[in-house]
């Protein structure tokens, strides 16, 4: 089977493809959409609806995700991609996060990923995954994308960027949300 994914982010697309072996994952740019909802689910629905109209009869999905830092009241949250302004720049975002956490002992954080799905008949579903951990005091590792060089998942000593794709794609927020999404796609589940 195949599934269309509404994203501009090639790293997300790569991870989704790796996490869903056996499903043909095809990127489709939701150009022009404004992600102005107040939560991850709302923004994921905005993105998936923008492409699903082109793929009637097939499944479409969108991933809206972000990093929530306890000591920052959940920021950057839904603003993760553009935390330090436009255009999106991960190095600048990570630098700002480190600056905002200078001298802060409580480093607890979590990633959240919400997957919005539109099925072949236009039915809509939501799946969510979280990964808890902490923010390092300096960047470490070259893998992954976004905040991966700063995020150490619970139970690990290294950042996502050091742990590498194989490990990340088993324990990440995205892996967890996609496990739920896969159940919906393959078995069907009550619509939201």
Active-site residue set: 64
Q: Which is nearer to ligand ITT, 12 or 184 (CB)?
A: 12
The answer to whether the Cα torsion of 179, 180, 183, 184 is positive or negative is negative
162 near ligand ITT, judged by CB under 6 A: no
110 near ligand ITT, judged by CB under 6 A: no
63 near ligand ITT, judged by CB under 6 A: yes
Using the contact rule CB under 6 A, the part of the chain among 2-10, 99-107, 117-125, 183-191 near ligand ITT is 2-10
What is the closest distance, in whole angstroms, from the C-beta atom of residue 113 to ligand ITT in the complex? 6
Structure token pair of residue 176:
């967890």
Which residues are within 8 A (CB) of 21 and not within 5 positions of it... i.e. 6 or more apart?
none
Phi, psi of 14 (to 5 degrees): -60, -45
Nearest CA to 14 among 132, 120, 143, 140?
Answer: 143
Between vectors from CA 38 to CA 115 and to CA 185, what angle results, nearest 5°?
A: 15
4 near ligand ITT, judged by CB under 6 A: no
- Binding positions for ligand ITT, rule: CB under 6 A: 7-9, 12, 35, 47, 63-67, 80-81, 88, 111, 144-148, 172, 174
């Amino acid at each position: 089977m195949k599934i269309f994914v509404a994203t501009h982010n090639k790293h997300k697309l790569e991870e989704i493809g790796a996490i869903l072996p056996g499903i043909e994952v095809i990127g489709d740019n939701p150009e022009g959409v404004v992600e102005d909802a107040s939560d991850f689910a709302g923004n994921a629905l905005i993105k998936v609806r923008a492409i699903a109209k082109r793929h009637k009869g097939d499944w479409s999905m969108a991933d809206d995700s972000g990093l929530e830092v306890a000591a920052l009241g959940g920021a950057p949250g839904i603003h993760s991609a553009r935390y330090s302004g436009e255009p999106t720049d991960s190095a600048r975002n990570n630098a700002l996060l480190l600056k905002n956490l200078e001298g802060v002992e409580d480093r607890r954080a979590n990633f959240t990923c919400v997957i919005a799905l539109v099925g072949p008949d236009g039915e809509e579903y939501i799946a969510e995954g979280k990964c808890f951990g902490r923010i390092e005091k300096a960047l470490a590792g070259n893998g992954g994308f976004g905040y991966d060089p700063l995020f150490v998942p619970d139970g690990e000593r290294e950042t996502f960027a050091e742990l590498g794709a194989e490990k990340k794609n088993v324990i990440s927020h995205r892996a967890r949300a996609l496990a739920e999404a896969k159940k919906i796609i393959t078995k069907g589940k009550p619509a939201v």
